[in-house]
């Protein structure tokens, strides 16, 4: 028997401690069949074997993206992109250029507007947006997507201009004139404006409501959604990603991916959760269990429940143990009461489901850990691999609890202020200097034995794992008194490959280059160990292989 694909003249970083390096790798079908020297691996060559010369570049396990939003990110690829925009004049120019290319009267949706897009001391308002475009609705999202800003016509049409009563944690910011100022915090405030779009919004249902599209999309809409999803998958494949852990979902998302798999277009393994919203009843967990039972293949699986415990720091919706530094008396409002969350955790854990909870403030992180502890007490210790998503601020007392409870810390190297070109403010003032050492505390968590998995939260941040590795390895300190959180190449890769596979219950199958394992890998044009990490952002994969198939070639 001979190999289907051989990659040689490579610097393999296998992430397998038993054999960390090799010079060549052979794949047959969807499996890795040989690792070793050039001569050893070339012995597997047959008449139809494709041989690729890696030119001395690194070959690594395919990236496991630990936290992202595939369908929503794919939907955004066609939106107005405002990353890096500074000041009113540049905002106006970019919107006008977009309008020239996208005439009509549909809602304009902008992405990646910084909280300080106008200036450090001047929050974006509907008046700024009116001065950019008055007669067409526009909605502009912050990078974290937890805040958005709308112009007057958008607020009027959505019925928000005079304010509206919303659930806890959601807010329409009101101006001194008694009308909405333009800033909308969290889903219940933002969604009525988002709904003005003719796009349909099916790409965001898994995020916004966790529900299914109603009525069920017709053939044309379904095909259109397949095209959007395929574009998102192609974007991931071009960045070397072979395993996506999606952090929003519904059955519809899985059905689209299932159809793409049938058509041979599923270019990455995807794991999709059931999204449990705070207005849902415990009984919905039956649907989560049904999704888990129906989708359990190595390419497409469900099996976990996603929840949001809080919002984000910049808008003051993250939940803190103590008061925000810039707002005495305010600690944020949790989206689930502690007792209720514990009941959900116990019930989901009992059904054998993994749980992943967005928790950014140290108060939210604590409540989630308490819930996981309650689940362990009620159901006994099992291989649950529950996760906390983001863990942006942690109380020092809670750092050892990750290892104690076997909980995974899912963190995003692009997110610390100062990384990925993010501004330091308002973040640092909001948490206050006393909390800085406990913000994005990669080093302290690792040293305390926690397992870290990395991702980008795309489309919150750029999907590029190379840029993410760069931020993980070069992150600066906000003061000299802070711990140095920079990660080694090996640590960062471990969190992006082997530990990511573990978090997705796929260790022993992927995340490591080893004979007998599934062939998921990424060929890079440079030897990472001899390349300055400050330049990683510019490195594009030459080839991505998932399940033995070449899914991208540059």
Site stretch for Zn ion (CB under 5 A), options 74-82, 99-107, 188-196, 243-251: 243-251
Using CB under 5 A as the binding rule, whether residue 357 contacts Zn ion is answered as no
Q: Is residue 523 a contact partner of residue 52, using CB atoms and an 8 Å limit?
A: yes
Please choose, out of 113-121, 156-164, 292-300, 450-458, the segment that lies near Zn ion by the rule CB under 5 A.
450-458
- Of the residues 154, 184, 247, 493, which one makes contact with Zn ion according to CB under 5 A: 247
Task: Compute CA distances 198 → 109, 155, 462, whole Å.
Answer: 11, 16, 25
307 binds Zn ion (CB under 5 A): no
Q: Does 186 bind Zn ion (CB under 5 A)?
A: no
- Quick one: tokens of 410? 């899912």
Count of chain residues binding Zn ion (CB under 5 A): 2
Measured from the CB of residue 277, what is the shortest distance to Zn ion in angstroms?
Answer: 14
Q: Which range touches Zn ion (CB under 5 A), out of 406-414, 456-464, 518-526, 533-541?
A: 456-464
- Among positions 44, 114, 203, 457, the unique one binding Zn ion when judged by CB under 5 A: 457
Residue 337: both structure tokens together: 């009461």
- Alpha-carbon distance of 9 to 143, in angstroms, equals 40
* Residue placing its CB nearer to Zn ion in the complex, 203 or 457: 457
Task: Single out the segment in contact with Zn ion by CB under 5 A; choices: 36-44, 239-247, 327-335, 445-453.
Answer: 239-247
Per CB under 5 A, which region of 13-21, 318-326, 457-465, 492-500 contacts Zn ion?
Answer: 457-465
Min. distance of Cβ 196 from Zn ion in angstroms? 24
Candidates 263-271, 281-289, 432-440, 452-460 — which segment interacts with Zn ion by CB under 5 A? 452-460
Q: Does 522 bind Zn ion (CB under 5 A)?
A: no
Least spacing, CB of residue 247 vs Zn ion, in Å: 4
Q: Which residue, 356 or 513, has its beta carbon nearer to Zn ion?
A: 356
Measured from the CB atom, the residue of 16 and 462 that comes closer to Zn ion is 462
Considering beta carbons, is residue 15 or 241 the nearer one to Zn ion? 241
Task: Between 128 and 415, name the residue whose CB sits nearer to Zn ion.
Answer: 415
72 scored as a contact of Zn ion (CB under 5 A): no
Helix axes 338-350, 285-294, angle to 10 degrees: 30
User: Counting beta carbons within 10 angstroms of the beta carbon of residue 110, is it exposed (0 to 12), middle (13 to 18) or buried (19 or more)?
Assistant: buried
User: Is 306:276 a contact under the CB 8 Å cutoff?
Assistant: yes
Among residues 316, 293, 313, 314, the alpha carbon closest in space to that of 303 is found at: 293
Q: Does 310 bind Zn ion (CB under 5 A)?
A: no
Lookup: tokens for 91: 């905002």
Give the nearest distance from C-beta 200 to Zn ion in angstroms: 21
CB of 145: closest distance to Zn ion in angstroms? Answer: 8
Residue 345 token pair: 């955790």
Residue placing its CB nearer to Zn ion in the complex, 249 or 548: 249
336 backbone dihedrals φ, ψ, rounded to 5°: -130, 135
Helix 251-262 vs helix 285-294: angle between axes, to the nearest 10 degrees? 10
- In contact, 515 and 35? CB cutoff 8 Å: yes
Phi-psi region of 81 (alpha: psi -120 to 50; beta: other; left: phi over 0): beta
Cβ at position 457, least distance to Zn ion in Å: 4
What's the min distance (Å) between Cβ of 99 and Zn ion?
29
Q: Given the complex with Zn ion, which of 376 and 387 has the nearer CB atom?
A: 387
Query: CB 241 → Zn ion: shortest distance, Å?
Result: 15
CA distance 554 to 534: 22
Quote the CA–CA distance of 70 and 446 in Å, as a whole number. 28
Q: How far is CA 170 from CA 310, 316, 466, 535, in A?
A: 10, 11, 34, 40
Look-up: residue for tokens 């507007």? 113
Footprint of Zn ion (CB under 5 A): 247, 457
């Amino acid at each position: 028997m001979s190999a289907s694909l051989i990659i040689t003249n490579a610097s393999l970083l296998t992430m397998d401690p038993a054999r960390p390096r090799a010079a060549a790798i052979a794949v047959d079908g969807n499996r890795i069949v040989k690792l070793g020297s050039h001569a050893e691996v070339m012995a597997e060559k047959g008449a139809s074997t494709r041989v690729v010369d890696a030119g001395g570049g690194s070959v690594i396990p395919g990236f496991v993206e630990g936290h992202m939003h595939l369908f929503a990110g794919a939907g955004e690829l066609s939106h107005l992109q405002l990353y890096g925009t500074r000041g009113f004049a540049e905002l106006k120019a970019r919107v006008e250029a977009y309008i020239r290319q996208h005439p009509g009267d549909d809602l304009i949706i902008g992405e990646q507007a910084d909280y300080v897009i106008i200036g450090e001391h001047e929050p974006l308002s509907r008046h700024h947006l009116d001065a950019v475009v008055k007669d067409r609705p526009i909605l502009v999202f912050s990078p974290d997507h937890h805040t958005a800003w709308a112009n007057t016509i958008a607020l009027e049409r959505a019925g928000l201009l005079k304010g509206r009563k919303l659930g806890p944690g959601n807010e329409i910011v009101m101006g001194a004139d008694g009308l909405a100022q333009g800033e909308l915090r969290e889903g219940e405030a933002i969604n009525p404006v988002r709904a003005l779009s003719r796009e349909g919004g099916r790409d965001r249902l898994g995020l916004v409501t966790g529900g299914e599209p109603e009525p069920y999309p017709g053939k044309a809409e379904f095909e259109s959604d397949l095209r959007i999803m395929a574009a998102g998958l192609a974007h991931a494949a071009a960045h070397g990603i072979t395993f996506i852990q999606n952090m929003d979902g519904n059955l519809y998302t899985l059905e689209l991916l299932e159809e793409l798999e049938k058509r041979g277009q599923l270019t990455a393994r995807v794991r999709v959760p059931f999204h449990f919203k705070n207005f849902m009843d415990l009984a919905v967990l039956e649907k989560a269990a049904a999704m888990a039972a129906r989708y359990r293949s190595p390419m497409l699986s469900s099996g976990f429940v996603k929840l949001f415990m809080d919002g984000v720091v910049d808008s003051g919706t993250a939940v803190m143990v103590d008061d925000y530094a810039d707002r005495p008396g305010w600690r944020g409002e949790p989206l689930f009461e502690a007792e209720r969350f514990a009941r959900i955790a116990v019930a989901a854990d009992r059904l054998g489901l993994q749980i992943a909870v967005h928790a950014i403030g140290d108060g939210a992180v604590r409540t989630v850990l308490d819930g996981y502890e309650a689940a362990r007490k009620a159901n006994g210790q099992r291989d649950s691999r529950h996760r906390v998503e983001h863990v942006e601020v942690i109380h020092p007392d809670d750092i050892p609890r990750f290892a104690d409870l076997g909980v995974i810390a899912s963190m995003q190297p692009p997110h610390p202020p100062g990384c990925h070109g993010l501004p330091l403010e308002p973040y640092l003032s909001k948490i206050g200097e006393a909390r800085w050492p406990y913000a994005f505390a990669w080093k302290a968590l690792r040293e305390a034995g926690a397992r870290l998995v990395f991702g980008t939260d795309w489309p919150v941040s750029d999907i590029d794992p190379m840029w993410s590795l760069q931020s993980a390895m070069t992150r600066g300190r906000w003061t000299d008194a802070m711990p140095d959180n920079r990660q080694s190449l090996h640590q960062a890769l471990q969190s992006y490959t082997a530990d990511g596979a573990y978090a997705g219950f796929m260790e022993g199958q992927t995340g490591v280059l080893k004979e007998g394992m599934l062939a998921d890998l990424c060929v890079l044009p440079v030897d990472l160990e001899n390349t300055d990490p400050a330049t990683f952002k510019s490195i594009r994969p030459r080839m991505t292989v998932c399940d033995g198939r070449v899914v991208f070639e540059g």
